[in-house]
Copies of this chain bind each other. A is one copy, B any other.
Amino acid sequence: MIDSKIREQLVAIVGNENYDDTISGRLVYSYDATPNHQELPDAVISPKDKQDVCQILKVCNLEKIPIVARGSGSNLCGGTCPVEGGIVLLFKHMNQLLEIDKENLTVTVQPGLITQDMIKQVEAAGLFYPPDPSSMKISTIGGNISENSGGLRGLKYGVTRDYVLALEVVLPNGEMIHTGGKLAKDVAGYDLTRLFVGSEGTLGVITEATLKLIPKPESKKTMLALYQDIEAAARSVSQIIAKRIIPTTLEFLDKHTIRAVEDFAQIGLPTDVEAILLIEQDGPPEIVARDIQHIADICRSEQAVDVTVAKSDEEAEKLTTARRTALSALARLKPTTILEDATVPRSEIATMVKAINDIAIKHNVKISTFGHAGDGNLHPTCLTDVRDKDEMERVEAAFADIFAKAIDLGGTLTGEHGVGVMKSPYLEWKLGEAGIAVMKGIKEAIDPNNIMNPGKMFAKELKKRVVIGE
């Protein structure tokens, strides 16, 4: 509850029209794309500009009111669920593309800008912003930065972190800092830019960002390789890289995902195969043609039952879009979809996919797997129903096993979705007590009153690590 005096102060900052504490307004922002997490905020505030953000944070810091900065809420870790109430901060008035700088190859944006809208404007200028989270049609760039979003082009081009050059951040105490610049090289002190990237709104509020762009690739080609054997698909992935080809995209879909996607998108995907690799290469046309030929040869020699190269841009777009719809397609099948992003070294993909299947059988749950095979970032996806308490317990146990296995294989429990509230009980499995202590120390130094997205990343209750097979 925000008492009436504080409410007055906040309304004075943003105006009545940007302060919503109606029950219906609060309900809308009580949850995000993550199933099974809901909590009402006390108010939903839309700052008009960065000065408003500074003032709001000053009030909240003094009064110890939690603040959850929120883009489109498309995250899958419960990252924007206001688990301790307080204020949800919206950026509908701070959603502009401020500048495309063609000489320095940068774009400067406000946090509320939709990722795909930015990408379209950037591409119209002949430039390219590679990170392409599957949610990019609705996600905001502020959300992408806060979660360090990945995407389908991560193998070749890296993730959001690799493209953030400068940030304007309002600290919990209401002071503003500027990190980095339009600079490829900057070593003036600790790398605060990358500390804020992926910090999930727990350290400050990003009010502006300058992102690195690269020249738009001249051309691209897309192909599909079909397999009756998952290990053959995984071997193909390893062989492509071993032959020193780094495709833009190297996606894996298992049979459950293929069927769901085909059922949903009806683009003619074969539904009688065990696995598909969706592969894309971009660059100068002659190099793309050469690489795609090499990749096709490798897939065939690794027992792909069929290899087809998209004949037109439209056909290619259809295939990529099909992959992007995987989550939506699967989500239709059951009331609840839980999609995780356990990530392993590329060499361990076959082992991990097999382990996921074994774990699903062990716990008697249904798990489909798709994801970014090229960078070891898999999306085991469980179709279930939150109302079925017994099954939900088995689902949770299965995912705990999946996290444990990923970590055992040298991987991590989250490759691109973030920790949020979902994975916070498991974070210590990856980082150890000492690693968590360092992160907590940083959090306390920057946000001593714990107002920034409290309840995220650092769990109150830890899960016990159960070693598989014991």
**Which residues in A have some Cβ–Cβ distance to B below 8 Å?**
101-105, 126, 147-148, 150, 154-155, 158-159, 161-162, 171, 175-179, 181-192, 194-195, 197-199, 214-216, 238, 241-242, 244-246, 284, 286-287, 290, 341, 343-347, 372, 375-377, 410-419, 423, 427, 430-432, 434-436, 438-439, 441-442, 444-446, 457
Contacts and interface: CB of A to CB of B under 8 A. Distances in A.
B197 A185 contact: no
Tallying the copies of this chain within the complex gives 2
Contacts of A162: 158, 162
A150 B415 contact: no
Nearest to A344: B183
Q: Which of A102, A105, A179, A181 has the most CB of B within 10 A?
A: A181
12 contacts: A103-B242, A104-B347, A105-B241, A147-B187, A177-B438, A178-B431, A187-B415, A188-B430, A189-B436, A191-B191, A192-B439, A442-B442
Contacts of A412: 181, 183, 185-188
A183 B412 CA distance: 8
A427 B188 CA distance: 7
A449 to B, nearest CB: 13
B184 A215 contact: no
Contacts of A150: 185
A441 B446 contact: yes
A340 B239 CA distance: 45
Contacts of A242: 102-103
Contact of A185 (B377, B419, B446): B377
Nearest to A180: B412
A341 B185 CA distance: 10
Given A182-B345, A346-B103, A414-B187, A175 B434 contact: yes
